[in-house]
Homo-oligomer: A and B are copies of this chain.
Amino acid sequence: MAASFFSPVRLVGVIGSDCPFDLVEVFAGRGVDLKGLEIRKDSRTFRWAGSYHGAMNERTTDSIELNVLEEEPPAVPGSYKDSKFIFLANTAPALQLQLLEQVNKPKFVAADTMDCWIEGHLNDLKSLLEKIDCLIINEDEVRMLAGQGNLIGAAEKVLDMGPSVVIVKKGESGSITCEAGGGKFVLPGYPSAEVKDPTGAGDSFAGALMGYLAKRNRTDFAALKTAVAYGTVVASFAIADFSLQGLTAINKSDIENRFKTLRKLTSF
């Protein structure tokens, strides 16, 4: 959804018959190809339940059901194999690798990951890191992966593991982007007076970022910085309401206006 504001999107994913949304309807008119969406009648959709605390900037996982994510990954449709910008959303790194292998010659591959894969599937994750261009990861998780508390030091350690860009997400405090060539970009979060539901903020950030890069067909550091700023803006809309409502309520000009506001709020 976040990427579709910028570029045509090809979605690959698998859900069970319990999914409460009709995704064809949800994505109608948004330029999202759903050929890669598989609905498995006898399986259940991945579920996560958590609680947000304090100023909505701390969360705890109450329950997690991998369900379809424990099964075989969906197939990448033949018509997707020439895709140039690939985002591997958070799932088991072995599945991320299997999905990536089905694409011919991607130009820029970004991946997300999380604590349970760092703890339990580190070798798979390390294999993945050698094959991607960009890791997008939470601050606690990059510390865990690098075994180092300082975020700059941790990001640099992860750069040594393979990717040429590491983007550390800091929730309401924004992000730090480090590239292997030494480039750094620090951007605060968009200052939101009201946060209804931070769930999906990270995916909205990554989606918008990738959508912008795909639209520009560029991956240089200047383009990446702009992409991170668009990611920040789209995430700020996502957290203003539950589910996808924060994103379905806006259009491209809302994004452009807030992008300009973010630049003004951070310039000196």
A172 → chain B closest CB, angstroms: 8
Indicate whether A192 reaches chain B with its CB closer than 8 angstroms: yes
* Contact of A185 with B268 in the complex, beta carbons under 8 Å: yes
User: Which residues A109-155 have CB closer than 8 A to chain B?
Assistant: 143, 149-153
Indicate whether A228 reaches chain B with its CB closer than 8 angstroms: yes
- A174-B173, A228-B268 in contact; A151/B191 too (CB < 8 A)? yes
Q: For A188, what are the chain B residues with a Cβ–Cβ distance below 8 Å?
A: 173-174, 176, 186-188
Contact among B176, B186, B193 with A150 in the assembled complex (CB-CB below 8 Å) = B193
Say which one of A31-39, A64-72, A87-95, A259-267 lies at the interface with B. A259-267
Interface size for A (C-beta < 8 A) is 35
Q: For A56, what are the chain B residues with a Cβ–Cβ distance below 8 Å?
A: 149-150
Contact among B143, B225, B266 with A55 in the assembled complex (CB-CB below 8 Å) = B143
Indicate whether A258 reaches chain B with its CB closer than 8 angstroms: no
A139 → chain B closest CB, angstroms: 9
Indicate whether A107 reaches chain B with its CB closer than 8 angstroms: no
